[in-house]
Amino acid sequence: MEDILSNRIDDEIKKCLIPLHVMQYLVLNPKYYLKQNIITINNSFNNFILIAGLIYIQIFSIANILTTMLDENITQYNSIKFLYFASYLDFGYRATSFTLLFFINYFNSSNHVIFVLCIQKIYNLLGIIPFLKWYSIINWVSIISLFSFYFITFICFFCVPSITPFLVNIYYFSVLTYDAELLHGSRLVQLLTKVLKLFNGQLKSLGHGVCNEMYLNNWFCSYDLVFKCYEHMKRMYHLSILVHIFVAFVQGLVNIEIIILFSKYNYEHNGKAYNPTSCLIFVWTIKNLLLHTWISLELEHFYDTLKETQDSCILILGFHSSDKSKQLCKNIMRFHRSNFKEMRTFGLFHINGCHSLRLVMYFANYSIILLQFALL
């Protein structure tokens, strides 16, 4: 526990966290302070960035709703009354959800720090973790891909005439904060899964040899730390995921209705149902669903890896292993039964692979209902 409280991390751990750390500063949403291998909770400067980010987003939310009401590119669609309702709805849940994300990150800074320090402790107990270099590279690739998507979408909105005003495009760039939050969570889940896989690989060696008591204690301590990381992760992201579920589902259905109404409007006035705005809105909707599916599948993979640990323990108990090895496996299985619970969003949903499929299924069903009403 003293190592955890020292707040110092090794260079290998720092390098794999740097991409995520930089991303959070870019979206004005820092989660901890990291300097010279020392990690601490957000200092005054980081808290100032958090507050500045919240103010920036709220100002642009107000500017967005005013622009929607006054800009001539949008007022030409006066006959589409739903467009104004969608704008008010967007303003309401954006302002609320961004405020929630601010408080989530403000109060969860210590959880993020403890998560990283627990990973550091596991690193010390298990030895060199070989996948950290590739993990860091994939972090950079994921972040660059996300920012590239926003940049390309911004260019498309800006270049296609008579779609949305420039100020509204800037506002939608702030939505990157949502997706960065989900990307950050997905990458941490994968890190924890990879650490657990490394633990499983070493655990299987118990069936082929004898280890001294110190190694057995280190393994159980590592497994305990994995669960501590998981518990802190649930505190950090269960509300963030709920916010993103609402955004992905409700905004997705609103977007589908806008696409339908735009298509009808263009067909009635221009004889063509196709509209470049509709294509971009549809791509944006799919992006939201894919991001939520990603973190759900990462959590499902983590649950499966935990099950593999239990299976390995059962196999070791069947081998002619030492009594101490068998006792370790019994302790691991007992600890798992008494402590493991799937992540839930305030008791509403289990976040796993099936949940992402249900979300997509409900979204598809309600989209079909909207199409049926449009064709009446």
DSSP string, 187-205: HHHHHHHHHHHHHHHHHGG
The whole model's pTM is what?
A: 0.89
Q: How confident is the model at residue 167 (pLDDT cuts 50, 70, 90)?
A: low
| Average pLDDT value over all residues in the chain | 83
| 82 vs 272: CA distance, rounded Å | 20
Q: What is the DSSP letter of 222?
A: H
Q: How confident is the model at residue 336 (pLDDT cuts 50, 70, 90)?
A: very high
- Would the pLDDT of 130 be above 60? yes
Q: How confident is the model at residue 77 (pLDDT cuts 50, 70, 90)?
A: low
Q: How confident is the model at residue 41 (pLDDT cuts 50, 70, 90)?
A: very high
Find the radius of gyration of the CA atoms of the chain: 24
Instruction: State phi, psi for 85 to the nearest 5 degrees.
Output: -60, -45
Which of 175, 168, 151, 144 shows the shortest CA–CA distance to 244? 175
Residues 56-61: what's their mean pLDDT? 82
Q: Quote the pLDDT of residue 2.
A: 45
Q: How confident is the model at residue 92 (pLDDT cuts 50, 70, 90)?
A: confident
Cβ-based burial of 272 (10 A; exposed 0-12, middle 13-18, buried ≥19): exposed
Domain residue limits at 263: 2-375
Residue 236, token pair as written in the block: 């950090």
- Would the pLDDT of 174 be above 50? yes
Neighbours of 23 (CB within 10 A): 24
Q: How confident is the model at residue 74 (pLDDT cuts 50, 70, 90)?
A: low
Beta bridge partners of 33: 40
| 216 vs 229: CA distance, rounded Å | 20
- Would the pLDDT of 177 be above 60? yes
Q: Where are the alpha helices (DSSP H) in 204-251?
A: 213-246
Q: Quote the pLDDT of residue 20.
A: 95
Q: Give the total number of structural domains in the chain.
A: 1
Q: Quote the pLDDT of residue 203.
A: 82
- Would the pLDDT of 253 be above 50? yes
- Would the pLDDT of 56 be above 70? yes
Residue 198, amino acid: L
Which of 78, 87, 79, 73 shows the shortest CA–CA distance to 161? 73
Q: Quote the pLDDT of residue 3.
A: 46
CB 160 within 8 A of CB 277: yes
Which of 174, 169, 235, 167 shows the shortest CA–CA distance to 52? 174
Alpha carbon distances (Å) from 28 to 23, 126, 205, 211: 9, 35, 45, 48
